[in-house]
Amino acid sequence: MLDVRTNRDGFVVYDTDSEEPVMRFGTLRDADAFVAEALIADLHAKLQRWSLDHVPATW
């Protein structure tokens, strides 16, 4: 799971499973957008595996 934490340089997205930083951002908005896009991509990949018609890569 991804988590946004404050840092002296801005905001850092952490992987809570491995407790390692993933990427650094200057604004909270950018960090939140990255997390949201990653979650959407993960859910889309899961839907492709379960779909009978195989959801197209672009939606």
CA angle 10, 16, 17 (to 5 degrees): 150
What pLDDT was estimated at residue 49? Answer: 78
What pLDDT was estimated at residue 50? Answer: 75
pLDDT string in tens for the chain (59-residue length): 899 999 998 999 999 999 999 999 999 999 999 999 999 999 988 887 776 666 566 65
Percentage above 70 pLDDT, the chain:
85
What pLDDT was estimated at residue 52? Answer: 65
Q: Which long-range contacts (CB under 8 A, 24 or more apart) does 56-59 make?
A: none
Residue type, 32: D
What pLDDT was estimated at residue 45? Answer: 86
Q: What is the separation of C-alpha 26 from the centre of its chain, rounded to a whole number of angstroms?
A: 16
